Amino acid sequence: MGQLAERVGVRTPSLYKHVASQDDLNRRIAALAMDEAGAAIGAAVQGRAGRDALQAAARALRDFVVAHPGRYAATIGLEPTGPDDPIALAAARSMEPFAAVLRGYAIDPADMTHALRALRSAFHGFATIEAGGGFQWSTGTEESFEWLVDLVDRGLRTREETPDGVAVFTGRAGQEGGTRDH
């Protein structure tokens, strides 16, 4: 808190008029970052569907993480204290654009949580590794990113369930949503 006070030109005790503690400040930063990321993703997917919407959402998240790595890092690992906690509400708002993308793939509502976790894992993982300088190979990351979007898109379009509820991937990626020419 002392460094923040120095940076904004006030004494540390003055900060406590606005935030209760370091934890309170961290949670406010996280909620703000979630809202900002969600707004960027929502704007990116507006008027898009299928792979185009998926790519726009993934790119918006990636761009946010790369542009604001510290702010985005603040969103990781915070536990909501309840359903009305600003962290829980901001997290739900930030995932809504991805849920909209998934609804365009006709994901069963019962599978939405699993699908959201899969998307977040894939695109969060790529973006945070990239932002942290983890892709050290000489090949640029853009083609790898497009490869990831294609992989996720095909998986979402080819997932079906057998009568006993087992998920299978049919390999019929050329159906709804189209395929990307290379």
**Which residue reads 């900002």 in tokens?**
36
Burial of 88: CB neighbours in 10 Å, binned 0-12, 13-18, 19+? middle
Mean pLDDT of 114-138: 93
List domains and CATH numbers for the chain: 2-169 (1.10.357.10)
| Cα–Cα distance measured from residue 25 to residue 122, given in angstroms and rounded to the nearest whole number | 29
Per the confidence metrics, is the pTM higher than 0.85? no
Q: What long-range pairs does 15-19 form, CB within 8 A, spacing at least 24?
A: none
The string of pLDDT tens digits covering residues 49-106 is: 999 999 999 999 999 999 999 999 999 988 898 989 999 999 999 999 999 999 999 9
